[in-house]
Amino acid sequence: MKKVLVVDDEEFPRMLLREALERKGLEVLEADDGDTAVEIIYSHPDTELLILDLKMPRMNGKDTFRAIRALNPGIKCFICSSAITQEDVEVFSAVGVKTFLEKPYLLEDLYRAINSLTDSPPEPDACSLKKFKAIEECENERRQVKREPLEKAIDVSVNILEFKGSRKLDLKAATCDISNMGLGIKIDYPLEPGNVLYFNNEIGGHTRGVVKWIVKHEHSYKTGIEWFHYL
């Protein structure tokens, strides 16, 4: 099993990456700062792939990459960070890093980046992404999710990733519909795909969800939420 090291000082992105990578059959190691990442590479010299955030305290992404590459010259890397600049692209491209994924990202884009660096085959069908699909088409099954109307005022909180870290927002929303796959809500705040929402009260047996799409209406935003499960 191939080993992957995920380096990000934010807990939520690490959890999302771990889930996606383990669904690909990869062994995932995690570090919340550059110093820890270097120690892990020293202890696990067979690590083949590095997924690196650039905006971290103490040792930033560039310094972390230099230290890790010194210990493991053959390790493959892709940058998964917010606010990736043209300078970042030029600096890392000059040392052989060609894959960049800016937060927030779609799961399909994450898998595409992983496939390009691990020689993994492309996703065979929608089954492997079914948790994130409203409609699943599989080789021996065709099933459409049926949503039931649900009108209810709810309180949610969300961590918004920013250049210098993250900030927590407490928001109010109105639910529109619910299914076994997720929830539709109306909200005044312009959320983005990839935002993780925490429900102050359990909804349909769930306490959190991931924003998948947003449609702007005149005075609000209709937002599709998929249930989010930790592995």
Provide the residue ranges of all domains of the chain, joining segments of one domain with +.
3-123, 148-227
Q: Does domain 148-227 have CATH number 2.40.10.220?
A: yes
pLDDT bin (cut points 50, 70, 90) of residue 111 is: confident
Mean pLDDT, range 91-95, rounded to an integer = 89
Strands 206-216 and 165-178: unpaired
In this prediction, residue 127 carries a pLDDT of: 38
| Token pair 């999710």 in the structure block, residue | 145
Determine the distance from the C-alpha atom of residue 153 to the mean position of all C-alpha atoms in its chain, rounded to a whole number.
27
Residue type at position 76: K
pLDDT value at 79 more than 90: yes
Q: What CATH fold (topology level) applies to the domain 3-123?
A: Rossmann fold (3.40.50)
What average pLDDT is seen over the chain? 79
Q: Closest by alpha carbon to 20, among 84, 106, 90, 125? A: 106
pLDDT at 171 over 70: yes
SS3 20: helix
Nearest to 185 by CA among 213, 206, 163: 213
**What does the block give as tokens for 221?**
């935003």
Q: From the CB of residue 119, how many other CB atoms can be counted at a distance below 10 Å?
A: 7
Distance CA 151, CA 174 (A): 7
Percent of the chain with pLDDT over 70: 82
User: What's the pLDDT tens digit per position in 2-59?
Assistant: 899 999 988 888 888 888 888 888 899 999 988 899 999 988 999 999 999 998 887 8
Q: What is the pLDDT of residues 115-165, one digit of tens each?
A: 877 665 444 333 334 433 332 333 333 334 456 777 778 888 886 655 455
The DSSP symbol for 188 reads: S
Q: Which helix (H) or strand (E) holds 131?
A: none
Distances (CA, A) of 18 to 29, 64, 179, 188, 219: 8, 20, 25, 31, 36
Measured between alpha carbons, how far is 24 from 10 in angstroms, rounded to an integer? Answer: 22
What is the 8-class DSSP label of residue 16? H
What is the pLDDT averaged over residues 216-231? Answer: 77
Q: What pLDDT sits at residue 130?
A: 40
Percent of the chain clearing pLDDT 90 (strictly above): 15
The mean per-residue pLDDT over the stretch 159-183 comes to 76
Q: Which residue has the tokens 């792939």?
A: 49
E strand intervals along the chain: 3-7, 27-31, 49-52, 76-81, 99-102, 135-138, 141-144, 148-162, 165-178, 182-187, 196-203, 206-216, 221-227
pLDDT value of position 125: 39
Choice among 9-23, 89-103, 119-133, 171-185 with the minimum mean pLDDT = 119-133
